[in-house]
Amino acid sequence: MPQHIALKDPHREARIYSARTITAIFIVLGLMTVILARYYALQITEYETYRTQSERNRVQLQPLPPKRGLIYDRNGVLLADNRPSHLLSVVVERTPDLEYTLEELRKLVPVSESDLENFYDKKARRRPYEPVPLRFRLTEAERAILAVNRHRLPGVTVDAQLLRHYPQGALFSHAVGYVGRINEREAFELDASDYRGTFHVGKVGVEKYYEDTLHGDVGYQNVETNAHGRVLRVLERYDPTPGADLTLHLDIALQRTAYEALGEQRGAVVAMDPKSGGVMALVSTPGFDTNLFVNGISSADYSALRDSPDVPLFNRAVQGQYPPGSTIKPLMALAGLESGLVTPEYTVPDPGWYRLPGDSRRYRDWILKIRGTGHAPQVDLEMAVEESCDVYFYDLARRLTIDGMYEYLHPFGLGERSGIDTTNERRGVLPSTRWKRDHMNQPWYPGETLSAGIGQGYMLATPVQLAVAATALATKGRHFSPRLVKSVGGEAVPAPELAPVEATDEHWQVVQAAMREVVHGKRGSARRIAKGIEYEMAGKTGTAQVIGIAQGEIYREEEVAERHRNHGLFIAFAPYDDPTIAVAVIVENGGGSSAAYPIARQVIDTWLLGEDGATVAATGEAG
The residues annotated as belonging to the active site are: 326
Q: Among 16, 148, 499, 609, which residue sits at the site for another protein (rule: CB under 8 A)?
A: 16
CA separation for the pair 285, 295 (Å, rounded): 23
Counting contacts by CB under 8 A, is residue 445 touching another protein? no
Binding segment for another protein (CB under 8 A), chosen from 50-58, 199-207, 233-241, 412-420, is 50-58
How far is C-alpha 330 from the geometric centre of its chain's CA atoms?
31
Residues 422, 209: contact at Cβ < 8 Å?
yes
Counting contacts by CB under 8 A, is residue 26 touching another protein? no
Counting contacts by CB under 8 A, is residue 1 touching another protein? no
CA separation for the pair 343, 87 (Å, rounded): 70
Of 9 and 103, which CB lies nearer to another protein in the complex structure?
9
Minimal distance in Å, beta carbon 147 to another protein?
25
Residues 394, 354: contact at Cβ < 8 Å?
yes
Q: x-or-dash pattern for another protein, window 78-97, by CB under 8 A? A: ---------------x----
Helix ranges, 243-389 (H): 252-262, 291-294, 299-307, 316-319, 329-339, 368-371, 381-386
Binding segment for another protein (CB under 8 A), chosen from 40-48, 254-262, 342-350, 362-370, is 40-48
Of 45 and 241, which CB lies nearer to another protein in the complex structure?
45
Q: With the CA atoms of 150, 151, 153 and 154 taken in that order, what torsion angle do they form, in degrees rounded to the nearest 10?
A: 110
Counting contacts by CB under 8 A, is residue 7 touching another protein? yes
Of 128 and 263, which CB lies nearer to another protein in the complex structure?
128
Q: Among 34, 141, 554, 617, which residue sits at the site for another protein (rule: CB under 8 A)?
A: 34
CA separation for the pair 73, 190 (Å, rounded): 28
Counting contacts by CB under 8 A, is residue 121 touching another protein? no
Q: Among 17, 26, 238, 445, which residue sits at the site for another protein (rule: CB under 8 A)?
A: 17
Q: Among 26, 49, 139, 499, which residue sits at the site for another protein (rule: CB under 8 A)?
A: 49
Please tell me the total number of residues recorded for the chain in this structure.
623
CA atoms within 13 A on the CB side of 179: 27
Binding segment for another protein (CB under 8 A), chosen from 14-22, 189-197, 245-253, 415-423, is 14-22
Q: Among 1, 3, 10, 360, which residue sits at the site for another protein (rule: CB under 8 A)?
A: 10
Counting contacts by CB under 8 A, is residue 100 touching another protein? no
Counting contacts by CB under 8 A, is residue 28 touching another protein? yes
Counting contacts by CB under 8 A, is residue 228 touching another protein? yes
**Of 254-293, which residues contact another protein (CB under 8 A)?**
none
Binding segment for another protein (CB under 8 A), chosen from 135-143, 225-233, 526-534, 541-549, is 225-233
The secondary structure of 37-104 as a DSSP string is HHHHIIIIITHHHHHHHHHHHHEEEEEEPPPPPPEE-TT--EEEEEEEEEEEEE-GGG-S-HHHHHHH
Minimal distance in Å, beta carbon 54 to another protein?
4
List 201's β-bridge partners, or say none.
Answer: 180
Residues 562, 589: contact at Cβ < 8 Å?
yes
Minimal distance in Å, beta carbon 149 to another protein?
25
Q: Is 353 exposed, middle or buried (0-12, 13-18, 19+ CB in 10 A)?
A: middle
CA atoms within 13 A on the CB side of 463: 32
Counting contacts by CB under 8 A, is residue 18 touching another protein? yes
State the maximum Cα–Cα separation within the chain, in Å, rounded to a whole number: 153
How many residues bind to another protein according to rule CB under 8 A? 47
- For another protein, the binding residues (CB under 8 A) are 6-10, 12-14, 16-18, 20-21, 24-25, 28-29, 31-32, 34-36, 38-40, 42-44, 46-47, 49-51, 53-55, 57-58, 93, 126, 128, 224-228, 232
